[in-house]
Structures are given as structure tokens and as C-alpha cells.
Structure 1
Amino acid sequence: MPIAKLRTTVLDCPDPHALAGFYAQVLGGRIKNGSDPEENWVDLFVDGSLRLSFQRAPGFVPPQWPRADHSQQIHLDLDVPDMEKGQEQVLALGARPLDLDDEGGKRDFRVYADPAGHPFCLIRT
């Protein structure tokens, strides 16, 4: 029997409202506690099963992938049916490419940073 149940995954960031909006456009879902841009905590509920939370962190320093001295600490793997279309869409939303070398399609993922600098991967399904 498990000791606990996962409630949410929390990402520190300088602007919770903006980062929740980025992930809402990538993953869908609905934002709660996100009507005030000065909010310190914003939740994103996706398909009733996944919850991501965004917490304002004064002095936030973004991770630098893949450097150990500025560790990524956490990253998200996101499945996409069409890599090229998914890449075009996340870049249009403000993602930044970190590693797009999928070795001519031999590797099934590409790495990006969200607008706050957290790494995430698009994975070809």
C-alpha cells in the first residue's frame, strides 16, 4: 500500500500566470487561481488526471541544460504525434530549442526550454 498519493508537480518560476498559460496552450486543460497576474501560485488541471502547479520564486535562476552546476532538477516528457508540428507550435508559444538533433529521426525526442527556462522534451509517439 502506498504511503502517499501525488497531488501535483510544482515548477518554480518568476511569473506563475505566464508559465501556466504556456503549458495550458501546450497541454490543454484549465487554469485555476490564475486570473490575477500577481498571483504567487497557479494550478493547471489537464484532463482531470494531471495537475501542474506554478509557484512564484523571487530570484529564480533558470536551469541550464545539461549543465550539472545549474541542474535541470526536473523536466517534463510530452508525447506528440507529429514532431515537426509540435516543434513549430511550442516555439511559437515561446519555447527555446536546446537540443534538436534527433539524428535524422533515429532519436525519438527533442529538448526545449519553456519560457522560464525549465527543460522539457517532445517525444515522437
Structure 2
Amino acid sequence: MIATMQCTVIDCPDPLALADFYATVLGWEVETDDSDPSWVWLNAPGKTQRLAFQRVEGDYRPPRWPDPAHPQQFHLDLDVDDIERAHHEVVALGAAFLHDSEGQESGFRVFSDPAGHPFCLCYGQGG
């Protein structure tokens, strides 16, 4: 082994706003450092998993799913128990609905977060 995973870093124009969005979706805790507002941590309970949000200065260009001219760069798959409830809650938080796999028993719905990054709400797959 050469390394261990520290976190996933997500570029965005407003790190605190995007961290707050995912904190509400996941129930995790935002950790900030007042001396550096360009970087915000999002910690799972017990800090077993982390996301980091990093400010991009200047011309931030969000990915456009599924446009290969503006590749998604990464995406998060988030398991949910109640897809309808989760759908409405993330939209109320500022997510935009993009696509539904239309699975009857299991599937996923694609959204973009407030900074334009795609993420999937996955259902019926043990989530």
C-alpha cells in the first residue's frame, strides 16, 4: 500500500454553502477554519469519512451531465430508503433534478448540487 484515502475534495465557488448542502443531505457535520474560508471539511459521525470543499477562484465551470464536453469529473452515489422524500428534500435544498433511471424496484435519480456537480440518489439497492 502506498497511501490511504484521506477525503474527496470538491471544487466549488462557495465551499461553506456547498458543505452546508451536503451536511443537510447526509446528516454530517461542517468543520470550518475561520483563518481559511477557501476550505471546508464535512465529517461523518466519528470522522470515519470526510469530504472537503475547496474554493475555485475566477471562472468556475461546473460539469454538465451527461455532456462529454463538460465532463462530470466525479459524482457521489448516495443510498436512500425513500426516493420520493429524498427527491423533494434535495430539490428544496437547491439541487436540480436531471434524470431518472425509472427503475421499478431499484434505480437512481441524478441531480446536480447547487454548484453544478452531479450526484445520484440510489434506491432499492440495500440503501
TM-score (norm 2): 0.89
- For 2:48, the equivalent position in structure 1 comes to 49
Deviations 1:81-123 (A, max 9, x none): 00000101101100001102415x2551000000000000000
- For 1:67, the equivalent position in structure 2 comes to 67
Q: Distance in 2 between matches of 1:4 and 1:120?
A: 26
* Structure 2 residue matching 1:68: 3-state secondary structure: coil
Structure 2 gap segments, 5+ residues each: none
Structure 1 gap segments, 5+ residues each: none
Q: Distance in 1 between matches of 2:81 and 2:118?
A: 20
May I ask how many residue pairs the two structures share in their alignment?
A: 122
Corresponding letter in the other structure for 2:18: L
Moved over 2 A (4+): none
Q: Is the 8 A contact 1:76 1:121 kept in 2?
A: yes
- In the TM superposition, what are the counterparts of 1:1-125 in structure 2 within 5 Å? 2-33=1-32, 39-47=37-45, 48-58=47-57, 59-103=59-103, 105=104, 108-124=107-123, 125=127
* Structure 1 residue matching 2:21: 3-state secondary structure: helix
State the Cα RMSD in Å: 1.6
Change (3 A) 1:34 1:83: farther
Percent of aligned pairs sharing the same letter: 48
Deviates more, 1:27-36 or 1:39-48: 27-36
Q: Distance in 1 between matches of 2:34 and 2:114?
A: 19
